[in-house]
Amino acid sequence: MGAGDMGERAMSKPEATGRDPIGRAGGSAPQGTGAPPAVPAPAGPAARVPRRLRRVYALADFEDAARRHLPKPLFGYVAAATETRASFRDNRAVFDEIQFLPRVLTDVSRRSQETTLFGRRWAQPFGIAPMGVTALTAYRGDLALAQAAAQANLVDIMSGSSLIRLEEVVQVAPNTWFQAYLPNEPQRIAALVDRVAKAGFGTLVVTVDTAVVQNRENNLRVGFKTPLQPSFRLLWEGLTHPAWVTSTFLRTLLVHGMPHFENNFAERGEPLVSRKVDRDFAGREHLDWGDIARIRRQWTGNLVLKGILRPQDAQIAREHGVDGIIVSNHGGRQLDGAVSPMRMLPAVKAVAGDMTVMIDSGFRRGTDILKALALGAQYVFIGRPFNYAAAIGGEAGVRHAIAMLSAEIRADMGLLGINGLDELGPDLLHLGGSLRREIDRAC
């Protein structure tokens, strides 16, 4: 998908970043190894946009297109949230409680979206959140996401539940971060961490909000379950979605064979059709802060915890030497009723000290991102829309999504009256009464 351009229109894109000091593509030194490189200006030759992306004007449009393109079980898995979807809904509703107080008559001709994380400069304040099995919704989906992010110079986090080997991804996109679901034994955790380090990743993200498997009711309702098993329903979904079957499923089987969960452990995991596959995602009930302490002693790169909501947990993370946290409720996919990360962001930021504070869950527009930055976040991650973009247009679809969101932020910054992200703060926001009280109480 995304390879055959039946019609094009011009769109600006960042220039290639060249090669880093050790000769790898990507345009930067490995994370944490020295001074950050210059970020290329968003100029250069025009990108070619496939015809199927011409009517995609915002991230939400990708979801509508993906609903038509993907078999119902696959789309339902990506779109799913647990139980009543209360957390999923509030992740969006919270943004309506935050309005802007824009400045006027300010010179906004020098706007820049550059930001710095762990000593490295990035071109945008947003990146791609980790998402599992994207190679099932898009052909070689993990590579499409990582390569588009590398070209645009923004962060991509590769999921531990991915179907492409982490070594293959980091080879083509050296600044990718790796997200791990910790195995169920200390020696297996150590072996996985060692594998990630040897592959060359500079940042390890440990997801900490998945101690047990969530209620899978919503997946079952749409017919998605692991292991994948042949059925009349799956046959019918294939027959009624031929574009996905030929461009993604059959192409993957013919070229690469049956997908496996490649990165849950130091060794290869189970194939999608294996009855043992659930074992890869169980047995984490006993994990505790002692596991984080052991990882911190072993891992010399940047260590990030994803899934923090309580300020008390952020403080414990800081005491354990964690470098950064991602305030997250897993996009509403874990504990239904978990508070929206935006509601807890100021309180978490207040105790974070020198840790880098990032956020995900529910972000869809440039204004959403600027609101989070004004409340103290240093970076924002977005998941589902980039999955949909890869499904619809491959790497070109992801590039298109990045370009649209970047254009939104640039326009929003001008209308807000700022030139740099460091000018954002609570003084540019008007908070609804209930949210103001929540934040004051939490802080």
What is the DSSP pairing of strand 356-359 with strand 379-382? parallel
C-beta of residue 343 within 8 angstroms of C-beta of residue 439: yes
Using CA atoms, how far residue 251 sits from 48, 84, 167, 254, in Å, is: 24, 36, 21, 5
Beta strands (DSSP E) in 252-393 are 302-308, 324-327, 356-359, 379-382
Q: 302 CB contacts (<8 Å, ≥6 apart)?
A: 31, 32, 118, 202, 203, 204, 323, 324
Active site residue 69: no
- Which of the following is catalytic: 69, 260, 330, 400? 330
C-beta of residue 270 within 8 angstroms of C-beta of residue 277: yes
- Residue entry with tokens 């950050």: 36
Phi-psi region of 421 (alpha: psi -120 to 50; beta: other; left: phi over 0): alpha
- Residue entry with tokens 């952020």: 314
Residue 308 phi, psi dihedral angles, 5° rounding: -85, 130
CA 240/CA 234 separation, integer angstroms: 10
The residues that are catalytic are 330
